[in-house]
C-alpha cells in the first residue's frame, strides 16, 4: 500500500512541477517577462491547492483508492494537450487542469495514514510525502527529453507515464471500508475544523516549509540560468540538489517527529531556514572602504557552490518540517485527517502558487534576484514569532501544575 501510493504520488508531483523546466523554453518562445513566467510556472499549483480540501473530504467519505485513481486519469488528456498549445492563455488554462495532480497529496496522506497505528503514522506519512522528490525527478528527466526531442515531446511522455501509473496504482492497492468516515458526518461538520486556531497555525507553518519548497523548486532552475549563466541541464541538476533532499528526506522527518515530537522538530526547522535565508538574501555587492593606504574594494557575493550548499540545507530542513507539521495533524486530528490535511495542504499549495509570481514581480520591480530569499526570510520570521507565543503557555503549564501539587502535598 505504502509503496504503491508513494510511487503514484512521486509521478503526480513530477508532473505538477513540470513547468519548472518546461516553462524555460516556453518563456523564450513566447517572450515572457519574469512575472509572466512566474504565473505560468505557478498555475498548476493554484488548482492543485484549491482542490485539496474537497479531495481530502472525499477521501474520508468515499475512500482514497477510488479518488486517487480517478484524479490521475483526469489529468492525462490535459497533460498531452500542453505539447499542442501555442498561445500563452492556452498554457495557463491547461496548467490549471494539469494542476489537479498536485491534489493527490490530500488524498494519499489520509489514505496511507489509516493503515498504520498512531505511533507509526509520522514515519508512514513521511515516507509517502517523500514523493515530493518527483520535483527532482522532473529536473533529471525533463532536460534530457527537451534537449533530445524538443519541449513538445515532454508532455506526451508525461501523459503516457501518468496513464500507466494510474493503472498500476489501481492494480496494487486495496480499500478498507472501516477507514471511511460515517455517512452521518456532514460536509459542514467536517469543515468545523476551520474554527480551531491550531489549524490556522499549522497552515502558516506549512505555507513556509511546503509553499516555500514548491516556490523554490519552480524557480531555482531559472535562477541558476539567469544569475550564473548555466545551461539548462546544469541548472536543473544543481536545482535538484535542493529538490531531492526536500522530498526524499521527508521520511526521516517523520521518524524524527515520532521520536522527539512535532513542536521541537518544527521549531528547529524554522531556525535553520531563518539562518540560511538570511545568507541567501544578500545580493552581490561591491564596497569601497577608505583605509590609511587608500581605497580598498570589496566584492561580496554568494558563489554558485556556496549557494547550492545552502539550498541543500534548506531543502533538508523543509523536508523534515513538512513531516513534522503533518505529525501535528495526525496527533491532534486523528479522526478528521482528510479534512484537516486538505485545509493545511491548501494553505501550503497557495503559498507555492503565490511565491513564484511574487519572485518574478520583485525581480521586475527591483532588479535584484536574491529578493526572492528576502521574501522567504520574512515569512520564516512570522512563523517563529507565532510559534513562540503559541506554545509558550503550554510549555510552562506542566511546571505550574507540578508546583501546585507540591504545595498541596
Output the pLDDT for position 405.
Answer: 41
Per-residue model confidence as pLDDT tens digits over 340-373: 777 887 888 888 888 888 998 998 999 888 899 9
Residue 400, pLDDT > 60, answer no
The reported pLDDT for the residue numbered 272 is: 94
Give the integer Cα–Cα distance in Å for 315 and 324: 14
Residues of the chain above pLDDT 70, percent: 90
What is the per-residue pLDDT across 17-50, written as a single tens digit (0 to 9) for each?
899 899 999 998 999 988 899 899 889 988 888 8
Separation in Å, CA 136 to CA 200, 214, 289, 351: 29, 11, 43, 19
The whole-number average pLDDT for the span 245-262 is 81
C-alpha 158: how far from its chain's center?
20
Q: What are phi and psi of 402, to 5 degrees?
A: -65, -40
Give me the chain's average pLDDT, please: 84
Percentage of the chain modeled with pLDDT above 90: 33
Q: Residue range 328-335: average pLDDT?
A: 74
CA 352/CA 318 separation, integer angstroms = 13
Residue 310 confidence class, pLDDT cut points 50, 70, 90: very high
Distance CA 79, CA 209 (A): 27
Residue 63: closest CA among 131, 16, 114, 105: 114
Return the residue matching grid coordinates 490549471. 96
Cβ neighbours for 36, distance < 8 A, ≥ 6 positions apart: 27, 88, 360
Complete domains list, the chain, with CATH:
2-175+191-395 (1.20.1250.20)
**Weakest-pLDDT range from 19-23, 90-94, 170-174, 321-325:** 321-325
Nearest to 225, CA basis, from 16, 82, 23, 18: 23
* Length, in residues, of the chain: 409
Cβ–Cβ under 8 Å, residues 386 and 204 = yes
Q: Closest by alpha carbon to 15, among 69, 76, 61?
A: 76
Distance, in Å, from the CA atom of 51 to the CA atom of 219, rounded to the nearest integer, reads 23
Confidence (pLDDT) at 189:
60
Q: How would you write the chain as a 3-class SS string? A: CHHHHHHHHHHHHHHHCCHHHHHHHHHHHHCCCHHHHHHHHHHHHHHHHHCHHHHHHHHHHHCHHHHHHHHHHHHHHHHHHHCCCCCHHHHHHHHHHHHHHHHHHHHHHHHHHCCCCHHHHHHHHHHHHHHHHHHHHHHHHHHHHHHHHCCCHHHHHHHHHHHHHHHHHHHCCCCCHHHCCCCCCCHHHHHHHHHCHHHHHHHHHHHHHCHHHHHHHHHHHHHHHHHHCCCHHHHHHHHHHHHHHHHHCHHHHHHHHHHHCHHHHHHHHHHHHHHHHHHHCCCCEEEEEEECCEEEEEEECCCHHHHHHHHHHHHHHHHHHHHHHHHHHHHHCCCCHHHHHHHHHHHHHHHHHHHHHHHHHHHHHHCCCCHHHHHHHHHHHHHHHHHHHHHHHHHHHHHHHHHHHHHHC
How far apart (Å, rounded) are the C-alpha atoms in residues 60 and 110?
8
Distance CA 101, CA 17 (A): 10
End-to-end CA distance of the chain: 53
Distance of alpha carbon 100 from its chain centroid, rounded?
15
pLDDT digits (tens, 9 = 90+) for 163-202: 999 999 999 998 877 766 655 555 566 566 667 778 888 8
In tens, the pLDDT along 290-304 reads 888 888 888 888 888
pLDDT of residue 351: 87
Amino acid at each position: 500500500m505504502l509503496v504503491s501510493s508513494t510511487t503514484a504520488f512521486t509521478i503526480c508531483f513530477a508532473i505538477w512541477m513540470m513547468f519548472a523546466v518546461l516553462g524555460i523554453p516556453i518563456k523564450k518562445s513566447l517572450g515572457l517577462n519574469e512575472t509572466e513566467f512566474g504565473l505560468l510556472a505557478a498555475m498548476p499549483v493554484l488548482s492543485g491547492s484549491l482542490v485539496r480540501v474537497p479531495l481530502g473530504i472525499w477521501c474520508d467519505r468515499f475512500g482514497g483508492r477510488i479518488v486517487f485513481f480517478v484524479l490521475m486519469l483526469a489529468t492525462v488528456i490535459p497533460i498531452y494537450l500542453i505539447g499542442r498549445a501555442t498561445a500563452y492563455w492556452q498554457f495557463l488554462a491547461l496548467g490549471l487542469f494539469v494542476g489537479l495532480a498536485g491534489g493527490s497529496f490530500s488524498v494519499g496522506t489520509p489514505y496511507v495514514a489509516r493503515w498504520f497505528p498512531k505511533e507509526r503514522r509520522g514515519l508512514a506519512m513521511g515516507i509517502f510525502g517523500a514523493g515530493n522528490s518527483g520535483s527532482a525527478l522532473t529536473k533529471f528527466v525533463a532536460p534530457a527529453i527537451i534537449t533530445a526531442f524538443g519541449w513538445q515531446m515532454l508532455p506526451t511522455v508525461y501523459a503516457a507515464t501518468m496513464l500507466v501509473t494510474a493503472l498500476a496504482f489501481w492494480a496494487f492497492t486495496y480499500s478498507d471500508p472501516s477507514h471511511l468516515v460515517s455517512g452521518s458526518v456532514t460536509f459542514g461538520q467536517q469543515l468545523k475544523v476551520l474554527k480551531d486556531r491550531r489549524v490556522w497555525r499549522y497552515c502558516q507553518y506549512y505555507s513556509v516549509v511546503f509553499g516555500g519548497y514548491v516556490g523554490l523548486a519552480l524557480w531555482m532552475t531559472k535562477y541558476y540560468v539567469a544569475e550564473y549563466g548555466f545551461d539548462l541541464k546544469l541548472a536543473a541538476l544543481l536545482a535538484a540538489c535542493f529538490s531531492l533532499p526536500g522530498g526524499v528526506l521527508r521520511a526521516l522527518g517523520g521518524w524524527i517527529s515520532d521520536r522527539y515530537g512535532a513542536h521541537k522538530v518544527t521549531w528547529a526547522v524554522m531556525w535553520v531556514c531563518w539562518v540560511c535565508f538570511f545568507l541567501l538574501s544578500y545580493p552581490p555587492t561591491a564596497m569601497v572602504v577608505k583605509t590609511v593606504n587608500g581605497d580598498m574594494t570589496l566584492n561580496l557575493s554568494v558563489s554558485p557552490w556556496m549557494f547550492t550548499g545552502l539550498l541543500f540545507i534548506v531543502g533538508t530542513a523543509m523536508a523534515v518540517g513538512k513531516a513534522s507539521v503533518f505529525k501535528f495533524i495526525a496527533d491532534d486530528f486523528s479522526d478528521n485527517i482528510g479534512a484537516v490535511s486538505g485545509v493545511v495542504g491548501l494553505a501550503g499549495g497557495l503559498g507555492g502558487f503565490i511565491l513564484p509570481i511574487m519572485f518574478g514581480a520583485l525581480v521586475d520591480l527591483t532588479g535584484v534576484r536574491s529578493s526572492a530569499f528576502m521574501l522567504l526570510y520574512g515569512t520564516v520570521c512570522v512563523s517563529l514569532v507565532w510559534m513562540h507565543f503559541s506554545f509558550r503557555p503550554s510549555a510552562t503549564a506542566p511546571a505550574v501544575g507540578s508546583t501546585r501539587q507540591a504545595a498541596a502535598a
